[in-house]
Amino acid sequence: MVSLARKTLIHEWRRFLPATLAVGFSTLLQLLQAALVLGIFGGAAVYINDSSADIWIGYPGTQAIDLGRAIDGDVASLLDMNHEVTRVEPFYLLDGDWRGGHGTGGVSVYISGISTQPGGMMFARVLTPVLRAKLTYPESVIVDPADLTKLGVKVGGTAAINGHLVRVVATAPGLRALGGVDILASLQTARLLDSSAGEAGGPTYLVARLRHPANAGRVVADLNGHTGFGRYHAWTAPQFARRSVLFWLFNTGAGAGVLFLAVVVFAVGAIITSQALVAAVAASVNEYATLNALGVGRRQLRWVVLEQAFWVGACGVILASVLAGLLIWLAQSENVPVAVSVPVLSACLVLVMVLVGISGLMAMRTLRRADPATLLR
């Protein structure tokens, strides 16, 4: 079987190189952008993703985790009554004003008040049991090592939050949040640092572990069906993480910027690719016309152009995937916030192939010029 598309692509590779590179760079930009978006906006859900809780209880209508309000602590008794629930922890998420000295002025921070009991759910993926135990000392806090400079403090150093003295007892990588600095403290320390203490008094969230995590959806529905325990709403951990990320992505303007850039990258890729394919078809228009004169239908000729587009796309995508893999690895090793999600990256690749298909369809129009009657002089 002679594949005209493939043979032409190999023989005239210089002609197709701009299109392949255009597809490649479009793909690379999309993949890196997706990885950065996942990495940066994933920070909005760092509290959820770094914890091992299956269920989150918060104030009704909370749009993102950092926008939580205090809830009634009595909801804990409702959780205790549920047979699926094996463990419940309160979680305080408070605003704070950090004064670290060394000319850093004031820094807005989020204070996370978490359980220091062994096996605690909050930040279970970041804190080792030893680190968690260190928080039991009053006024102890843990920060991300990357935030030390910003906070103007070193491990073992002291600073003030909301006018109260705290001591940095350790660092834990993976705490960097979107839009602020995360400070981990014990529940007791957090309550001490709470500038609005006495207003509501309850935790910002309650988190729970289930006997069978797969039943989280059913348990959440069950919890949300109760009344009489104050104002609260329950989410599964993935639901709440998604809610937080989407809020940051679409309601802050940053998401709109990212989407706009994606559209521009796609448009540029599509234009360059289609122009290269159009030029390739135009260069062989007499040969296509001859095939049509010999009875090869226009539909079959269009398939040749589409096949050409497909191979251009496949080469570009493979090239970009290899480069993206290398760059993401490099970014991760340099603490740049990037994250890989197979469904999202697959969607990027599918979108690129759709772009290539559209370019092929645009190039097909050139085949109209392949009229065999024009070959007769």
Partner 1 sequence: MPELVPPLPSSATLVAQNIAKSFASGRLTTPVLSNLSVSIDAGELTLISGPSGCGKSTLLSILSGLQTPDAGHVMALSESLQTMDSHRREAFRLHHTGFVFQGFNLFPALTAREQVRLPLQYLDLSSQEIDRRTDESLEEVGIAHRHHLRPAELSGGEKQRVAIARALAKLPALLFADEPTSALDAASGQVIIDLLHRIARAHGTTVLCVSHDPRLISHADRVLTMEDGRILNDSRQLTPHRPQDRRASC
In the complex, the residues that contact partner 1 under the rule CB under 8 A are 1-2, 4, 7-8, 10-12, 284, 286-287, 289-298, 300, 372-373, 375-377
- Residue closer to partner 1 by CB (options 349, 375) is 375
d(C-alpha 282, C-alpha 271), whole Å: 16
Question: Can you say how many angstroms the Cα of residue 114 is from the centroid of all Cα atoms in its chain?
Answer: 25
- Residue closer to partner 1 by CB (options 10, 347) is 10
Query: Nearest distance from residue 19's CB to partner 1, in Å?
Result: 16
- Residue closer to partner 1 by CB (options 283, 326) is 283
Q: What is the DSSP string of 164-189?
A: EEEEEEEE-TT--BTTBEEEEEEHHH
- Residue closer to partner 1 by CB (options 215, 290) is 290
Query: Nearest distance from residue 289's CB to partner 1, in Å?
Result: 7
Residue carrying structure tokens 């279970």: 124
The single-letter DSSP state of residue 65 is: G
- Residue closer to partner 1 by CB (options 291, 328) is 291
Query: Nearest distance from residue 1's CB to partner 1, in Å?
Result: 6
Quick check: 4 and 325 in contact, CB under 8 A?
no
- Residue closer to partner 1 by CB (options 244, 292) is 292
Query: Nearest distance from residue 274's CB to partner 1, in Å?
Result: 21
| Parallel/antiparallel/unpaired status of strands 140-143 and 85-99 | unpaired
Please provide the size of the chain in residues: 377
Among candidate residues 145, 144, 170, 172, the one with its CA nearest the CA of residue 157? 170
Query: Nearest distance from residue 280's CB to partner 1, in Å?
Result: 11
Radius of gyration of the chain (CA): 29
- Residue closer to partner 1 by CB (options 186, 292) is 292
- Residue closer to partner 1 by CB (options 2, 342) is 2
Residue 118: CB atoms within 10 A of its CB come to: 8
Residue type at 108?
S
d(C-alpha 183, C-alpha 142), whole Å: 6
Query: Nearest distance from residue 11's CB to partner 1, in Å?
Result: 3
Quick check: 35 and 338 in contact, CB under 8 A?
yes
Query: Nearest distance from residue 313's CB to partner 1, in Å?
Result: 19
- Residue closer to partner 1 by CB (options 2, 263) is 2
Query: Nearest distance from residue 358's CB to partner 1, in Å?
Result: 25
- Residue closer to partner 1 by CB (options 294, 342) is 294
d(C-alpha 275, C-alpha 153), whole Å: 56
Query: Nearest distance from residue 13's CB to partner 1, in Å?
Result: 10
Query: Nearest distance from residue 357's CB to partner 1, in Å?
Result: 23
Beta-carbon contacts of residue 17 (< 8 Å; ≥ 6 apart): none
The single-letter DSSP state of residue 113 is: E
Q: What is the DSSP string of 283-338?
A: HTHHHHHHHHHTT--HHHHHHHHHHHHHHHHHHHHHHHHHHHHHHHHHHHHTT---
Strand partners, 142: 170, 184
d(C-alpha 358, C-alpha 92), whole Å: 51
